[in-house]
Amino acid sequence: MLFTLAWRNIWRNRRRTLITAAAVMFAIFFAVFMESIQRGAWNYMLDSVINFYYGYVQVHEKGYWAEPSVDASMAYDTSLEQQLRGIPGLLGASARIETFALAANGEQTTGVLVVGVDPAAEDSLTRLSSRLQAGRYWENADAGQVLVADGVAARLGIGLGDTLILLSQGYHGANAAGKYAVGGLLHFGSPDLNKRMVYLPRMAAAHWLDANGRATSLALRVADKRSVPGVVAGLQSRLDTSRYEVMRWEQLLPELLEAKALDSASSRIVMLVLYLIIAFGVFGTILMMLKEREREMGVLIGIGMRRQQLAIITWVEILLMSSLGVVAGIALSLPIVMYFHHHPIDLIIMGESAVKAYEKFGFEAILPASVDIDIFTSQALIILAITSVLAIYPFWQIARMDAVRSMRA
């Protein structure tokens, strides 16, 4: 009965109802769109770095990450792999041997990160073969060809079939010099990776560095992000933690987490301003509603209607108007968010400066939208919570209302 009365009351003044619902609708739309773009962009950035190289969990020799070098590598054989089997959520592992090197072609040189990988295991972890823009992925583990990121290739002026010279320091000070044919060109979502990555099969890289039977890191393939805590706990219980260190991606990339936290804080400030604007708009509607119906409410109280019932009807009216705006806002934002999820915003339209700003952080200047359901539900619940709190005001106003005076208004 009270709900029916409230529903009829909000349509007695259609203009007020539609204006209030429209205000809530646009608030939901802007809040959902902003959060979806922000979350989608960060998810894309993290995936570009984590899934295409680091992995969500890595295992190193104790102290390697503090001072990475081939000398701090760990002995690697099948016994280490056997200790990893059976851990829930752990799908596989890719052993790597990594070092920085000087890459040269003719008179052109540049610094690169050379990563020796097991072809099949690395492809399962990072889908490295899908990054190929030209050439072919290795067919066997002892192939002698390198895969070069397209940024490195452009800087050195090399292409498929050309020779790349690599100079570095090997295990225990050994000289590491080698020349390799370029077998493929890679492209990564992260500009930083594009400018420095060179891949070799691990056996060839170990021979080049005089580090046979060794690996600098073991990158792990997990089922999903939620599996990471369980995988880390399983590894720490099985491995000798005085010798090995197990690191999550948050420990591998603390700067990225700090940048995300800073960006989220600034976004919350913008959201707070938006919520305040909507709160004032809804509160203005409540004040107008009470003033316009002051005489009506006085009559209802005078003929015996309980003040509590009258306040509940008013509270339901406000929630109904807000709910209409919430539903309309989600209906408006959903197709737009879906569109930008499948067609990400390319910041090239904002000029070269915007692209370079993103590249400074090692990210591709693309902003895809996230379609996580909790973005829609959380914004809807926040707006409804705000209006629910504001709708308490009529309880106080009606409780202190003078019925006789109101009937004379």
pLDDT in tens, 349-366: 665 665 565 655 555 667
Token look-up 């073991």 returns 218
Specify the pLDDT at position 406.
Answer: 62
Residue 94 shares a structural domain with residue 236: yes
Tokens of 409: 């208004």
SS3 at position 304: coil
Flag whether 167 is in a domain.
yes
Residue 70 shares a structural domain with residue 36: no
Q: In angstroms, rounded to a whole number, what is the distance separating the alpha carbons of residues 87 and 77?
A: 18
From 216, 241, 266, the end of a domain falls on 241
For residues 38-66, average pLDDT: 81
Residue 123 makes CB contacts below 8 A (sequence gap 6+) with 129, 137
For residues 194-211, average pLDDT: 90
Flag whether 265 is in a domain.
yes
Half-sphere exposure of 112 (CA within 13 A, CB side): 32
Flag whether 250 is in a domain.
no
Specify the pLDDT at position 181.
Answer: 92
Residue 81 shares a structural domain with residue 34: no
Residue 365 shares a structural domain with residue 297: yes
From 207, 241, 275, the end of a domain falls on 241
From 241, 268, 297, the end of a domain falls on 241
Full DSSP string of 122-179 = HHHHH-GGGGEEEE---SSTT---EEEEHHHHHHHT--TT-EEEEEEE-GGG-EEEEE
Angle between helices 307-342 and 373-390 (to 10 degrees): 160
Full DSSP string of 210-259 = T-TTEESEEEEEES-GGGHHHHHHHHHHHS-TTTEEEEEHHHH-HHHHHH
Flag whether 54 is in a domain.
no
Residue 91 shares a structural domain with residue 34: no
**pLDDT at residue 402 greater than cutoff 70:** no
H/E stretch holding 107: none
pLDDT class for 142, splitting at 50, 70, 90? low
pLDDT in tens, 322-356: 888 889 989 999 999 999 888 887 766 665 665 56
Token look-up 């904002």 returns 350
Residue 170 shares a structural domain with residue 293: no
Flag whether 173 is in a domain.
yes
Report the 10 Å Cβ neighbour count for 254: 9
pLDDT in tens, 273-315: 888 888 888 888 778 777 777 777 777 777 777 777 777 878 8
Residue 210 shares a structural domain with residue 308: no
Flag whether 116 is in a domain.
yes
Residue 234 shares a structural domain with residue 315: no
Domain count within the chain:
2
Q: Which structural domain, as residue segments, surrounds residue 225?
A: 63-241
Residue 29 shares a structural domain with residue 163: no
Specify the pLDDT at position 165.
Answer: 92
Which class for 58: exposed (0-12), middle (13-18), buried (19 or more C-beta within 10 A)? buried
C-alpha distances out from residue 278 to 30, 58, 272, 384, Å: 12, 46, 10, 11
Residue 78 shares a structural domain with residue 16: no
**pLDDT at residue 70 greater than cutoff 60:** yes
**pLDDT at residue 112 greater than cutoff 90:** yes
Flag whether 58 is in a domain.
no
Across all residues in the chain, what is the average pLDDT?
Answer: 82
Residue 142 shares a structural domain with residue 214: yes
Residue 19 shares a structural domain with residue 91: no
Specify the pLDDT at position 282.
Answer: 81
Flag whether 198 is in a domain.
yes
CB 358 within 8 A of CB 54: no
